[in-house]
């Protein structure tokens, strides 16, 4: 899926172009600040000066924001998904961030799509919310990927994780895997059963080719495998996230489905 060149978007939206644009913007900002400082004896702004590295990403960010919905719709069409710009889906009731952020206000599901990845029903949606910190209100978003599993399994996470309720970190024999992915579970035996040597090797390969996968948090919650990330806007990022999830789901041995099936609470509210 991630190797489908038609899903990688136009040439101008490729990572190399974004990196070049960011670098050029950074150089221009530095030159402007330097010239102003030379002529006036002080920087253009003491606020803009330390913010220059972050402002360099502004043009790329504007491009992503402007074309995100178009890229999602194009990816959906190319992969047999049904796309809904105004999905009207309810926000899932899942017991992990960002769905449990107490200060989140006006959490909404934006453009979404449904289809299948391999043998698994799949969906994707753009989640937005306002964070009320009393002092100021900031906007936030995540891209959410979902695979429907045959039955409910114990909770497990893989990827960046600041949620202490997920359990302890589980180490694997592959140092390369441990370096690229962090797995957390309250049941290490279950985690080792899910991540077989073949699954680990395939995830390492995907993570090496697609950095966005390493920055995505994947979580088994009830009968769903969920991916949550600030990335996943560009066509190849959508494909690579679903690729990783398919590898995890297909790699779960048969005995896990029977031995580790849990009646732990799974969200009753459907994402669609």
pLDDT tier at 3 (50, 70, 90 boundaries)? very low
Check residue 184 and give its pLDDT. 96
Tens of pLDDT along 148-186? Answer: 999 999 999 999 988 888 899 999 999 999 999 999 999
Residues 6+ apart with CB under 8 A from 107: 91, 99, 127, 128, 129
| Mean pLDDT of the 22-39 span | 80
Q: What is the pTM of this model?
A: 0.79
Residue 124 main-chain phi, psi, to 5 deg: -145, 140
Q: Which segments within the chain are labelled E, that is strand?
A: 82-84, 104-117, 120-132, 137-158, 168-170, 183-185, 217-229
**189 pairs with which residues across the strands?**
none
Tens of pLDDT along 88-136? Answer: 899 999 999 999 988 888 889 989 999 999 999 999 999 999 987 767 6
- pLDDT over threshold 50, residue 228: yes
- pLDDT over threshold 60, residue 259: yes
Check residue 85 and give its pLDDT. 87
Tens of pLDDT along 184-207? Answer: 999 999 999 999 999 999 999 999
């Amino acid at each position: 899926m991630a190797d489908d060149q038609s899903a990688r978007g136009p040439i101008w939206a490729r990572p190399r172009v974004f990196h070049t644009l960011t670098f050029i913007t950074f150089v221009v900002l530095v030159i402007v600040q330097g010239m102003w400082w030379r002529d006036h004896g002080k920087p253009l702004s003491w606020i803009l000066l330390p913010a220059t590295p972050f402002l360099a990403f502004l043009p790329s960010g504007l491009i992503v924001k402007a074309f995100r919905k178009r890229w999602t719709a194009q990816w959906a069409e190319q992969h047999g998904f049904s796309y809904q710009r105004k999905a009207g889906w309810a926000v899932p009731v899942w017991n992990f961030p960002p769905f449990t952020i107490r200060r989140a206000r006006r959490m909404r599901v934006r453009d979404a799509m449904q289809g299948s990845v391999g043998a698994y029903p799949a969906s994707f949606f753009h989640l937005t919310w306002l964070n009320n910190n009393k002092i100021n209100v900031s906007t936030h978003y995540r891209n959410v990927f979902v695979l429907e599993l045959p039955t409910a399994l114990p909770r497990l996470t893989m990827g960046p994780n600041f949620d202490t309720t997920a359990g302890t970190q589980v180490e694997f024999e592959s140092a390369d895997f441990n370096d690229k992915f962090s797995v957390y579970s309250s049941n290490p035996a279950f985690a080792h059963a899910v991540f077989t040597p073949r699954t680990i090797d395939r995830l390492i390969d995907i993570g090496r080719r697609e950095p966005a996968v390493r920055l995505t948090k994947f979580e088994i919650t009830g009968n769903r495998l969920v991916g949550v990330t600030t990335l996943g806007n560009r066509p190849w990022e959508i494909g690579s996230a679903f690729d990783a999830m398919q590898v995890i789901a297909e790699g779960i041995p048969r005995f896990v489905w029977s031995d580790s099936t849990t009646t732990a609470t799974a969200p009753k509210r459907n994402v669609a």
